Structure 1
């Protein structure tokens, strides 16, 4: 089965620092390097490396950064459909602390020009089995792509990041929603109008918020970092959400881990895995990615992911 990703592509400039600088503070980097990035590109590469047949609709500038990204996407096995526009390719400034945590500033550049889905792009979306979208490109484009997908009975997967207020017409056509704990809190607050707990979630609190989000979409996955993820869909009825534990990992760089999770999850769904098994596969992919530097550069291939999932199975049997 095929996957089409509609979204952003950036050239990331990554600086490794002892700690994320505070306002007004200057810190000296220990290393600096450019990498492929952007949520759309990361997720497309993750899905391709996880074994899916992937096409990627994006916008790149007519510049050297655009040429580099086009080459790296092709090398990853992604079939690229890129608008080359009269704007600089999107860039991101990423600082990565020794703990693996990061802080990111994005300049959208060409990504802001991904507007009004073309006839050719509509055909690509309609011919696919799964559409994966995020929110680093104009929201109207996300809604339009999802509308085309729904009309063609293509499964719509939305990673609601970076979080914003989502129109009802988009939520009404989403099949699977993927959010982290911060995004889940913000979205549940927006949908319910009620105050939500804190900025982080326990597994039990994530379960309660997943129930709220399931009122808007058929299936919800909330990622909780080292606490794994919560999976809940309407087929589970009144039963509890599934908790998928995280794989143990010592993080080197968490940049792109969420994108790796999303791409791997859709690849697993595309080959017929159910949502819980797909989340476990995606969790393994994310655990592998945080142990390597860079966003796209850190994304594992399917054999690595399968080996990690298999090792968990062996330990359970033992």
Structure 2
């Protein structure tokens, strides 16, 4: 692969609209991006949405590796897929059952949903512990307020997704459950020590790593008692020394969206991207703005060409990314437009009945 192609693999980008446009074709063909994330605004009806996914895959035919086609499909309020699907409840409702089998079935159902649509990555499960009742962003997205429950249910959901052939991304390391600020809007600050995180927030992530988690998403949260100079997503201490070192994780590390207020308001996104890669991130999520994606791509390319960053550092990440794509035998082959999803919806309804 050329340097340009390798840099592209490290970017996962959002797009505009419900059909492929020239700007999308450009970032795939010219910047060789490794993946796409779709949000609710990108979906039309079931048929139109599958057509969009197939068009994205077709546009990638000139590149050496298939695309990650990703979505946030957690259940509850974070549900992006078309309304054709019966709504899956939030993690809190599933957590109240305290039944790992039901959580695993949840993962299996989510995997069926996203695979029918042509996706291969789901940004789930949420492994955050809802320890702060004033948390504005996690809440019912969490399985509960204690580490034992979140670990049991989260790992079960992760395994359901994986056995269903979908790459799961556990989030948001090192833990978003005790924040009182929404990182979409600004930078949360959590004054906990490493020892405190080990005793609570790390527990589900440590378990996921022991179960060979496919990918870990790192949060935009400042932990000043651990690293006063960088939020987790840019921190050599938190990613390099703790996640990679102490916890021994050697899989794919992806940032939360770099265009969120936590980064955009407090750090230049381009410089933050460099810092994140230097800290140990493999994939930069640039969910909004073609110009922003291009600037990050160019900044990474320039940093290697100028000697600021070693190409061997890029190679480490690309190796992890390609290994994950190979593990799941990803392909840019189109998926058929489903004639009916009635059977899947019946399965979802039957599963929901078991939660009561």
Query: TM-score by structure 1 length?
Result: 0.37
Larger fraction in strand: 1
Query: TM-score by structure 2 length?
Result: 0.33
Larger fraction in helix: 2
